Amino acid sequence: MSKENQFQISKSTAHDINNLLMSINNSLELIEINIKNPSKILVLKRNMATLTQRIAEIIEDSLSSVPGQKFRKVNLIPLLEELYFTLENSRGKRVKIEKEYSAEAIYVPGNATQLSRVLMNIGVNALEAIEDIGSIKISAYDSVTEKMISSDQRLKNFKDYSVIRIKDSGAGISEEYIKNIFIEGFSTKTKERISGIGLHSAKKIIEEHSGEIFIASTLKKGATFTILLPRYANNFSGNLKMNEKKKILLADDEETILELLRDLLESYGYEVVTAKNGKELLEKYNYGIDLCIIDQKMPVMDGFTAIAKLRKSNITIPVLLTSGSQSLKDEKRIKKLQINSILTKPYDFEELVRTIAQIIR
């Protein structure tokens, strides 16, 4: 890759990250304004969690030499809100933008950045399809309902999927064009109007998420795009607060992370001992510990080395490994060290607590 191309990629990455950081900063200001409104703060918190995930994905993608999607737990609502505000700010006064969500949070496994590109592409296309006065409705549902299936039989095999619908009242698409609309290189636009990733790429991204995308349209009556994505599965549904005291040994070289996680875990009834590196973890370990949460990259002694020393001493304590990299591919080493689970930073705290509950209950 030429230095010029590398510069352009770096410039684009910096631009994307700056936009996301600005959104996080705006959310923080809104939290201060809505300090007495817990429900609003919860929505803002979830939005910020999705934004931080997207920053992590962008950085990981720009640094990784390993191709392929890297999936996290993604809340669709902040992505749809981003689309809503983009269309609101682009529409002028001619198009009414509506939204409807079945829940405040709808989770799917995926890459938030890629999913956002798909939604933006379809949303902008919908806006461009309306020449005069019209409307766009953005909808999201946490599952496919019988009512949806009765109106569209294509959905009958997707009962465990979340649903996104983007409906416009634009010019519509003819049956002839619908047959070809997802073919690479095909477009109903003129060359001057082509923008975004294209519907062929959008469909490919959704299929890489084990999902499906459908279109229904009638000329002069608009079009509806339906996106189906597998629901995020929570394998543990019990009470996350502990009924009996469990002791966790937590190792991370970031003091801020240590303090924050210790306070959060203690609020869930856990007793927490902290260590700043693998060497300190070994010094503080005792047989009253129920679980070790260990960061992979630490000074003095890294996570893998510390776990290896525990196992060499015939200590079979459950281990949860955390890492800032999504490229931990050494499955043989992970199996040999008997690592119970791996979480990629930044992770959702609820996901951490659920994972802990699955391991030590």
What's the pLDDT at 5? 52
Query: Does the pLDDT of residue 215 top 80, yes or no?
Result: yes
Structure tokens at 154: 């294509």
Q: Which residue would you say has higher pLDDT here, 249 or 239?
A: 249
Q: Which of 138, 107, 351 is nearest to 229 (CA)?
A: 107
Least confident of 5-9, 11-15, 233-237: 5-9
8 Å CB contact between 358 and 317: no
Largest CA distance in the chain: 74
Say which CATH topology domain 68-230 has: Heat Shock Protein 90 (3.30.565)
- Is the pLDDT reported for residue 28 higher than 60? yes
CA 175 from centroid of its chain's CA atoms: 34
Hey, is 288 helix, strand or coil?
coil
Quickly state the pLDDT bin for 273 (edges 50, 70, 90): very high
Q: Which pLDDT belongs to residue 144?
A: 92
Which two tokens mark 53?
A: 């995930």
pLDDT at 4: 53
CB half-sphere exposure, 205, CA atoms < 13 A = 20
Output the CA–CA distances (angstroms, integers) from residue 314 to 236, 307, 319, 334, 342, in the order listed. Answer: 29, 11, 14, 16, 21
Which pLDDT band, with edges at 50, 70 and 90, does 104 fall under?
confident
Does position 3 have pLDDT exceeding 60, yes or no?
A: no
Three-state DSSP at 300 gives coil
Query: CA–CA separation, 105 vs 107, rounded Å?
Result: 6
- The strand pairing partners of 210, in sequence order, are none
Nearest to 261 by CA among 250, 269, 253: 250
Asked whether this chain's domains 68-230 and 246-360 adopt the same fold, the reply is no
pLDDT at 69: 55
Top-tier CATH class for 246-360: alpha beta
Q: Is 321 helix (H, G, I), strand (E, B) or coil?
A: strand
The amino acid that residue 268 corresponds to is: Y
Binning pLDDT at 50, 70 and 90, where does residue 344 land?
Answer: confident
Checking if the pLDDT of 7 tops 60, the result is no
Mean pLDDT for the chain?
A: 84
Report CA 146 to chain centroid distance, whole Å. 27
| Contact predicate 298/269, CB 8 Å | no
Q: Is the pLDDT of residue 192 over 60?
A: no
The residues spanned by each domain of the chain are 1-64, 68-230, 246-360
Helix 255-267, helix 349-360: angle, nearest 10:
60
Q: Which residue has the higher pLDDT, 334 or 287?
A: 334
pLDDT band at 230 (very low <50, low <70, confident <90, very high): very high
Q: Can you say whether residue 229 is alpha, beta or left, with left for phi > 0 and alpha for psi between -120 and 50 degrees?
A: beta
Query: DSSP letters along 10-35, please?
Result: HHHHHHHHHHHHHHHHHHHHHHHHTT
How far, CA to CA in Å, does 271 sit from each of 108, 325, 361? Answer: 32, 28, 15
* 283: Cβ contacts below 8 Å, ≥ 6 apart: 275
pLDDT at position 34, please? 87
Work out the average pLDDT over 355-359: 88
Q: What is the pLDDT of residues 156-172, one digit of tens each?
A: 889 889 999 999 999 88
Mean pLDDT over residues 250-261, rounded?
A: 91
Tell me: pLDDT of 191 over 50: no
Q: How confident is the model at residue 25 (pLDDT cuts 50, 70, 90)?
A: confident
- The pLDDT assigned to 248 comes to 95
How confident is the model at residue 178, as a pLDDT? Answer: 82
Q: Rounded distance, CA 361 to CA 357, Å? A: 6
In the DSSP assignment, the letter for residue 134 is: E
pLDDT for position 243: 52
